[in-house]
Structure 1
Amino acid sequence: MRIDAHQHFWHFDPIRDSWINDSMKVIQRDFSPEDLLSHLMSKKIDGSIAVQADESPQETQYLLELSNKHTWIKKVVGWVDLSAKDIEAQLERYQEEKNLAGFRKILQALPPSAMEEKSFLNGIRLLSKYQFTYDILIFPKHLKATIELVKKFPDQAFIVDHLAKPDIKNGEFESWAKDIKVLSSNPNLYCKVSGMVTEADWKGWKKEEFKPYLDHITNSFGTERLVYGSDWPVCLLAASYNDVFDLAWDYFETFSGDEKAGIFGENACKFYRINS
């Protein structure tokens, strides 16, 4: 099964979605499952994973409703307040949602020290009890704190989004590469091959710019812990859906059939517990 393991839907609200500023006019509009489906079909992708873009219970419910309506939305990565006093009761209730794979917090907007807060750590600690995954959304400055976080919870299924957003536009590599290598030593952590084009020059990126980063995550994680995602519609800031897919597909073209099947679907199915 071929899976796009990272995409979003929203009804655009200029107040709620203020992160989509005027430099991002191309995505200042609604994006629905109907908008995505033709792209999936063009690349013979069987399903997708809808990831939260807003930090609210309403966002999680919205995505779950879409996944119940559209069977090709295989799983949802929602949001829950991991620091809430009643977090365990919330997770217990969420267990009833068969399409809810796990959760994500927008850590990239917070200082690295946010990953050290006791209430947040308590929430992370409970996720594995209820078999929920956790998507890590960070910048390179968060990597050292992330290393410590992942190390604390060896039984938790973690996945880092967008290669941890290296500054591809300015060619920053060494520090990111060193920390990613250390982070990848945790076998409970996967990495999404996603979000690269928006970390490059939106209007002038070249395919060869991404090779050192792709080489490094492949050498660090191995093909069995890499997962493809488009980051649609955010990717539209810098590339079409087809361009994003082709960038990853072309890089892995010479890999074995089993390795490609893993990266473009089977690894996501394993990580997010997708059965069909």
Structure 2
Amino acid sequence: MIDAHLHLWDPERLDYGWLSHVPAIAGLHGPEEWAAAGPGVRHAVFVQADCAPAQALDEVDWIAGLAHPHLEILGIVAFAPLELGEAVASHLDALRQRPKVRGMRRSVQNEPDGFITDPRHVEGLVAAARHGLTIDLCARDRQLPLLIEVLGRLFERQPDARVVLDHLGKPDIAAHAGDIDGAGWADSLRVLAGFPNLSAKISGLTTQDRWSGGRDETLRPYIDHALACFGPERLMFGGDWPVVDLAGGYARWRAIFQATTAALPSPDRRRIESGTATAFYALAPERPQELLS
């Protein structure tokens, strides 16, 4: 298995202002803590953890230098300030010089609507695609119609852009009591799946439900809908550790994922567990069939 969405952080090394809002996970979370958690997964894609933007390249270099017998970082999704528009090119050039970097992410989940549709943000997305970097998108359910508009503009200009939607677009499961039509999420996901170069991560759902008292069965319809929309060839598993520890932990989430996908044919399960991430992030181009067969 490949965990396509892993975070690590060291608050003594870099600044993560947002961690002050989640003290339960605000301490050091590195490879040793990962190993101690016993996730049973060794291979992962690191996704930037929103340290101070000025430290973004330092975060990449720290992650690239890590070595641990229980964790192998196969690729890095780094931060890039896409709001700079075409001026982001120098930052993207710096990322391309770092061999483990496969893609970039500029989270918009806490940004105003105007940020998402701003022409400079779109220019930044186009620049990232032209630099050969994958694009992770992190947005909330209510923002998905805006994302649809922006992706239409991106793919019109750069049809070969490779984009993945984090956490299935963050449906607010708690607010809508498990109703997949809440905030138009189900319809939005169906429209998003119409972009052939868009993939999605089955990740982050437990923390979209109530952090305590959330029921495992509430999450299944969201995963089933994603399967119906994207198919296994465009879906990948993500653990979202250590954020997942806010809502029952990694073992709980992995058990939910495995129970929900257990009835799929073995080749489809392997695609979601490793094959899609391998192909999307170009993690092991020398042996893709091993992971897909």
Gap regions ≥5 residues in structure 2: 286-293
**TM-fit CA distance, 1:39:** 4.8
Asked if structure 1 preserves the Cα contact closer than 8 Å seen for 2:135 and 2:162, the reply is yes
Correspondence for 1:191: 200
1:65 deviation in Å? 2.8
CA distance in structure 1 between the partners assigned to 2:275 and 2:54 by the alignment: 29
Partner of 1:12: 11
How far did residue 57 of structure 1 move?
4.3
Q: Which amino acid aligns with 2:81?
A: D
Which of 44, 58, 61 is matched with 1:61 structurally? Answer: 58
Aligned counterpart, 2:290: none
Tell me the distance in 1 between the aligned counterparts of 2:143 and 2:97: 33
**1:217-261 deviation digits (Å, cap 9, x = unpaired):** 110111111110000000100112111111111111111111111
Look up the match of 2:180.
Answer: 173
Q: Is structure 2 residue 214 aligned with structure 1 residue 205?
A: yes
Contact between 2:233 and 2:268, CA under 8 Å: does it hold in 1? yes
- What residue is the counterpart of 1:32 in the other structure? 30
Provide the secondary structure at the position in 2 that maps to 1:255: coil
Q: Report the CA distance shift for 1:21/1:89 in structure 2 as closer, same or farther (over 3 A).
A: closer
Q: Is the 8 A contact 2:170 2:204 kept in 1?
A: yes
Q: Secondary structure at the match of 2:248?
A: coil
Q: Distance in 2 between matches of 1:237 and 1:267?
A: 27
SS in 2 for 1:214: helix
1:56 maps to a residue whose letter is: P
Q: Which amino acid aligns with 1:190?
A: S
What SS is found at the alignment partner of 1:108? Answer: coil
8 A Cα contact 1:112 1:141, kept in partner: no
TM-aligned CA distance change 1:74 to 1:270, over 3 Å: same
Equivalent in the alignment of 2:44: 48
Equivalent residue letter for 2:233:
E
Conserved 8 A contact 2:2-2:42 = yes
TM-superposed deviation, 1:38: 4.9
Residues in 2 aligned to 1:46 and 1:31: alpha-carbon distance in whole angstroms: 15
Cα distance in 2 between the residues matched to 1:82 and 1:255: 38
Measured on the aligned residues, the alpha-carbon RMSD in Å equals 2.0
Deviations 1:86-145 (A, max 9, x none): 322332232121111111112011122212212211111112221101111111111011
Count of matched residue pairs:
271
Given the two structures, how large is their TM-score scaled by the length of structure 2?
Answer: 0.86
1:265 aligns with: 274
1:173 alignment partner AA: I
Say whether the 8 Å CA contact 1:232–1:241 is kept in structure 2.
Answer: yes
Identify the residue that residue 75 of structure 2 maps to in structure 1. Answer: 75
Mark the CA change 1:93 to 1:18 in structure 2 (over 3 Å): closer, same or farther: closer
Would you say 1:157 and 2:185 are equivalent positions? no
**Does the CA contact (< 8 Å) of 2:82 and 2:123 recur in 1?**
yes
TM-score by length of 1: 0.91
Tell me how far apart the structure 2 counterparts of residues 247 and 129 of structure 1 sit (CA, whole Å).
37
Contact 1:64 1:100 in 2 (8 A): no
Identify which range, 148-157 or 236-245, moves more after superposition: 148-157
Partner Cα distance (1:235, 1:99) in 2: 25
For the 8 Å contact 2:122–2:153, the answer to whether it is kept is no
1:133 aligned residue: 134
Gaps of 5+ in 1: none
Structure 1 counterpart SS, 2:97: coil
Higher relative contact order (CA 8 A, sep 6+): 1
